[in-house]
A and B are shown apart, each in its own frame.
Chain A
Amino acid sequence: MPRGERSEGAGCLQVTAAASALRRAVDVRLAAMLVALVVIWIALQVATDGLFLSSRNLYNLSLQGSAVAIMTCGMVFVIVARQIDLSVGSLLAFTGVLTAYIQVGWADAHPDAGWIMSIGVGLGTGALVGLFQGWLVAYQGIPAFVVTLAGFLMYRGAAFRVAEGQTIAPLDDRYQRLGGGADGSLGVTWSWVLGAVACVWVLFYVWNTRRERAKYNSEASPRWLDVAKIVIGCAAIVAFVAVMVSYPNRAKMDDAGNAPGMGIGIPVLILIVVAVVLTFLSHRTRFGRYVFAYGGNPEAAVLAGVNTRRLLVLIFVLMGLLSALAGIVTTARLNAGTNSLGLLAELYVIAAAVIGGTSLSGGIGSVPGAILGAFIIQSLLNGMVLLDVASANQQIFIGLILIVAVKMDVAYTRRRTT
């Protein structure tokens, strides 16, 4: 990610060495988002009299944000490739309800594996819908905006038809764990193990970057900056785990009234896996390289012999799959499938992607940025609920946030190209 930013420092000779090193080595946009998130959290903490940053609320925020973030990771690929997907919220509802419907229907016939099979059906349906949308866009030449706007209507309707408007509940206990909660969290020990692994990874990442730069004689970033990255990264991980384990799991309270810590929720774990896989895809595979190349210059990709149609189809399949995954996490958390799931999610997801630094003109975006953007949006939504803001006002506010985010993107792009 820092690649896009290195040019920034080059022009200004006056800036001090430290500041220019900082600009070269740190993604300015990502850092700004991180600062924005911290500011929003502090503001909400003050406004809610300490309710917002309570372990209970942060735990809930981590679950709510995960579903949005899972989809936002996919939306980065869609938008980077100059496409859009307005159907993700409806598709979440359709696949979520379908998964619940199948699960309840198969519960008697397959008491052990029914819930796993229903997950397979849900994910498969998401992928198939993505295949269909991608085919319409890539091979039939219908703009993604139209295809997915139609999908926005169709899959919401399909979600209604599956359950005929009814709420499908209850779901399998094992399935419910995918949504987090008392049985769906890692607990204290495993949360700390995961945190330790993450810290080791941060260390390895910084060390490895340094080593590789040295190998090819590139400028190494200053030592203090590397140390700062490690300290900030590990501190954030430790703080996150500490908060998650400090939320008492009352379902497992013993007779003396001592409850063990909840720990990291399964949805967060799913999000981490998605983020790792997609980051790997975007940096280390041809697929990711071609998504970015296509977004930067579609003609260049065609002339380079990239099968751009297949590429677009794959992008929509990925998005469909992730929408279905978000549908599973959401239904598991709510322990119900209803056709109103994921209402307005497409807007939150697109807003999150843009806030997270994905450029609507294509070619630019990152998975970590997307996750950051998703948690900024979710924090605002969550905070407004805590503050008892009327839902009409919430909608107005989120709409304004979307406009501001895109305005920032436009300004950023213009400054870069002139």
Chain B
Amino acid sequence: MTALGDAGGGPYREGGDPSANVPLVEMTGISKSFGALRAVDEMSCDLHEGEVVALLGHNGAGKTTLIKVLAGVYAPDGGEMKLRGRPVRFSSPRDARAAGIETIYQHLALADNIDAAGNLFLGRELRTRWGTLDTHRMAHEAGKIVRRINPNFTQTHLPVRALSGGQRQTVAIARALYFNAKILIMDEPTAALGPAETRMVKDLIRGLKREGIGIFIISHEMRDVFDVCDRLAVMKNGKLVGIQRVTDVTEEDVLGMIIAGKNPAPRTGAGAGTRAPE
């Protein structure tokens, strides 16, 4: 409902110290049930400008449900979401997108029978002044942004079915970037990608981070998490186990959080940025 695009970050950036800023995203006590299953249970988490936060946990821990709440796919049963301090409530993915939240889903959410341009603009088609689809301008714009991400990608006119995994990933990312996302959600961005393509995605994430975009990443690849993320939030059975700075923990600590649901004992001066739920 609340469009954030117009805020443009102006008034909030004056605060000097970035950590003192109002968070880009602040989710407090979010719950979502499907029948008797509490998929997300009183989950709280935040994300700042230019920050990459990993969401970790077993399959079924509630990560994907949580990001779907943020992306406007599900309405939460309880809890509060704030964008730059303003409470928001999304009734459809369109609302979330209008607020600057873009999502790249694990299965990329592409329509296989439609070309890259059609997928890139799906739901937000460019139109001529008569209200008809402006297919040529869409093809042109799609070509431009896709080649910026991946210079080798020229076949924007093919149905995405005919594309490689990396190319499909490029289309999905291009879709998120074209509309100037402020907040990016990536569900398993490097799954099913080759090494070169994984590197491409990681470089891209670092670039976006420098531009001040906040990114949530769901990943099972521990190395990717430690490579690109600033903090990690671990979920288990829909609940938050803990949020840690990646510099404060080891891979083993994180595995312990995921499997046993236990936070590691604090090492160096109990937790700047480390926080456990009450």
The residues of A with any CB-CB pair to B shorter than 8 Å are 3-4, 6-7, 10, 212, 215-216, 218, 283-286, 289, 292-297, 299-307, 363-364, 416-417
Contacts and interface: CB of A to CB of B under 8 A. Distances in A.
7 contacts: A3-B157, A289-B125, A295-B111, A300-B109, A300-B119, A307-B92, A416-B161
Given A293-B114, A296-B111, A303-B73, A215 B122 contact: no
Contacts of A294: 111
Interface of B: 71-73, 92-94, 97, 103, 105, 107, 109-115, 118-119, 122-125, 127, 131-133, 135-136, 139-140, 143, 157-159, 161-162
**Which 7 pairs across A and B sit closest by C-beta, in order of nearness?**
A304-B123, A296-B111, A296-B113, A305-B94, A363-B113, A305-B93, A7-B162
A6 B158 contact: yes
Contacts of A6: 157-158
Contacts of A212: 136
A284 B132 contact: yes
Given A284-B133, A304-B123, A305-B94, A417 B161 contact: yes
A299 B112 contact: no
Nearest to B92: A305
A3 B115 contact: yes
A212 B103 CA distance: 33
A218 B139 CA distance: 11
Contacts, number: 92
B152 to A, nearest CB: 15
B210 to A, nearest CB: 28
> Which residue of B110, B112, B122 has the most chain A CB atoms within 10 A of its CB atom?
B122
Given A293-B114, A296-B113, A303-B73, A216 B159 contact: no
B123 to A, nearest CB: 3
A218 B157 contact: yes
Contacts of B159: 3-4, 7
B101 to A, nearest CB: 12
A108 to B, nearest CB: 44
A390 B112 CA distance: 45
Given A3-B115, A285-B132, A303-B105, A297 B110 contact: yes
Contact of B114 (A10, A296, A306, A416): A296
Given A3-B115, A296-B112, A297-B109, A304 B133 contact: no
Contacts of A302: 73, 93
A178 B267 CA distance: 86
B93 A303 contact: yes
Given A4-B113, A297-B111, 20 more contacts: A284-B132, A285-B133, A286-B133, A289-B118, A293-B118, A293-B122, A294-B111, A296-B114, A297-B112, A299-B107, A300-B109, A300-B122, A301-B111, A301-B122, A301-B123, A304-B124, A305-B93, A305-B97, A363-B113, A364-B113
Nearest to A8: B162
A300 B139 contact: no
A299 B94 CA distance: 14
A364 B114 CA distance: 10
